[in-house]
Amino acid sequence: MRIWDPDRECMARDKLEALQFENLRTTLERAYRNVPCYQKKFLEAGVSAKNLQHLSDLSLFPFTTKEDLRLNYPYGMFAVPLREVVRIHSSSGTTGKPTVVGYTRNDLNNWTELVARMMTAAGVTADDIVHIAFGYGLFTGAFGLHYGAERIGASVIPISSGNTEKQIMIMQDYQSSALVCTPSYALTIADHLDRMGLGADSLKLRVGLFGAEPWSEEMRREIETRLGILATDNFGLSEVMGPGVAGECEYKCGMHIFEDHFIPEIIDPETCEVLPPGSMGELVLTTLTKEAFPMIRYRTRDITRLHYDTCRCGRTLVRMEKTCGRSDDMLIVKGVNVFPTQIEEVLFQVEGCEPHYQLVLDRDGHMDTLEVQVEVNETIFFDEMKKQREFVSMVEKRLAATLGLRARVKLVEPSSIPRHEGKAKRVIDRRKS
């Protein structure tokens, strides 16, 4: 088990917290001095860096939200002059103006180092050929992983997204050993292999690093089985840095957050109160080393839980569970909170269900309805009506037991649900129209 930076990744908790405190105070001072938005927020809350006597005092400071970034578009949140910014990225958001983030040369070096840590933890070495199927552009994903892989010494194939059959040809011919993309696109690759009459052994892949969308343990097993790889999760967001905020090691028991660069908190998304260790809630992140774009208590909207015990790999860094959804993407159906990943877990446990589904929310009069459209294999889809009804009833009962509400299940033909090169579009909410 290789560790890229053992001095930092295996640091004793008391030394880590001393380092965090020192860098946090510096970050608070810089944000107040150079970012008008933070100056205004701190004054309104009646706090300054002097109020930070212990790490727990971070809870005295106001949150930062995506709305703050939009209101200060494009460069209002930058803490350095534009001449010191050597890279500009923006979010992949689909509504309104994007959120713009900047990096100094030192920020880029830190980012590259953290991605190297993350990829090393996932098993990537200098001997690997890394196939990056994220889209290159303003999105941070591809570039962050590209330079991190190069820092390790791996060979990088910057193929970008799209044209799945060509991706497979390149993986075969160039002997790609590490796949980087969304988990849903990994399954799209597996589907194409099946249609081309090829098995996982037609590729040289051995590890996969998947992120940018929530995915379940059942989906992980599906990917590992169909592609014959070790599949690890990683976490990042453009507003905080990009990929490299956290990542799983080969034990796959949570994503190690690089706490020498970020302080994580878990809050109740409704009351905004900080929750005790082990609680499920919304992840809030504060950057400790970002020069161009410091983030103080940024509300990620991702729902997770933190574990502080030392991992078997030897890293002492806190681990975050797979995100089970987002507080703002959470579906409320008949007053019940529903995350798409809950439904995915059930479907992946049912033999005959394919790993592609879509959720359709609507209203019947004043009542919410939830329809789960799921692809099934041809044996079930073309089976006699009575057996189909029995299959649907079984799936509906399992969903009801998990969700606490009734969802209508609709079986659809294999390959009928649209495939996407990037993040899968799982939800159609007709209640909003």
Q: Using alpha carbons only, give the angle 201, 204, 207 rounded to the nearest 5 degrees.
A: 105
State pLDDT tens for residues 157-181. 999 988 999 999 999 999 999 999 9
Closest C-alpha to 105, from 347, 291, 341: 291
Q: What is the mean pLDDT of residues 238-249?
A: 96
Token code pair at residue 283: 């992840």
266 contacts 283 by C-beta, under 8 angstroms: yes
The rounded percent of the chain whose pLDDT value lies above 70 is 97
Cβ atoms of 421 and 185 within 8 Å: the answer is: yes
**Locus of tokens 């509504």:** 95
User: Where is pLDDT greater, at 77 or 213?
Assistant: 77
Any idea where the domains of the chain sit in the sequence? 7-14+64-328, 336-429
Radius of gyration of the chain (CA): 22
pLDDT digits (tens, 9 = 90+) for 300-323: 999 999 999 999 999 999 999 998
Q: Is the torsion defined by CA of 56, 58, 62, 64 positive or negative?
A: negative
Per DSSP (E only), the strands in 69-115 are 87-90, 100-103
Tokens describing residue 177 = 């050993």
Largest CA distance in the chain: 72
At 342, is the secondary structure helix, strand, or coil? helix
More confident residue, 97 or 218: 218
> Which pLDDT score is estimated for 432?
59
The pLDDT of residue 324 is above 60: yes
- The average pLDDT across 19-29 equals 98
State the pairing for strand pair 353-364/242-248. Answer: unpaired
Strand segments (E) across 254-334: 255-257, 262-267, 281-287, 298-304, 306-307, 319-320, 331-333
Distances in whole angstroms, Cα of residue 223 to Cα of each of 179, 189, 201, 218: 11, 10, 14, 9
- Report whether 247 contacts 209 (CB < 8 A): yes
Most confident among 100-114, 352-366, 379-393 (mean pLDDT): 100-114
Whole-number Å distance between alpha carbons of 121 and 124 = 7
Distance in Å from the first CA to the final CA of the chain: 51
Output the pLDDT for position 93. Answer: 46
Helix (H) or strand (E) holding 409: strand 408-412
List the CATH code of the domain at 336-429: 3.30.300.30
Q: What are phi and psi of 79, to 5 degrees?
A: -105, 5
Greater confidence (117 vs 99) lies with 117
Q: CA dihedral in degrees (321, 327, 329, 332; nearest 10)? A: 120
Average pLDDT over residues 125-151: 95
Q: Which two tokens stand for residue 6?
A: 């053992």
d(CA 343, CA 95): 26
Provide CATH code, domain 7-14+64-328. Answer: 3.40.50.12780
Is residue 422 within 8 Å of residue 135, measured between CB atoms?
A: yes
Lowest-pLDDT range of 88-102, 134-148, 292-306: 88-102
What is the helix (H) or strand (E) element at residue 109, kind and residue range? helix 105-121
- Mean pLDDT throughout 97-123? 96
Average pLDDT over all residues of the chain: 93
pLDDT at 70: 87
Q: In this predicted model, what pLDDT tens digit does every residue of 38-90 receive, in sequence order? A: 999 999 999 999 999 999 999 999 999 988 998 999 999 999 999 999 999 99
Q: Is the pLDDT reported for residue 96 higher than 60?
A: no
- On the question of pLDDT at 205 being above 60, the answer is yes
94 pLDDT tier (thresholds 50, 70, 90): very low
Which residues, other chains included, contact 133 with Cβ-Cβ below 8 Å and sequence gap of 6+?
159, 160, 161, 167, 179, 180, 181, 185
Q: Is-same-fold flag (7-14+64-328; 336-429)?
A: no
Secondary structure (DSSP) of 9-66: HT--HHHHHHHHHHHHHHHHHHHHHH-HHHHHHHHHHT--GGG-SSGGGGGGSPPB-H
CB 244 within 8 Å of CB 271:
no
Neighbours of 188 (CB within 10 A): 21
Q: Is 62 in contact with 42 (CB distance < 8 Å)?
A: yes
More confident residue, 341 or 224: 224
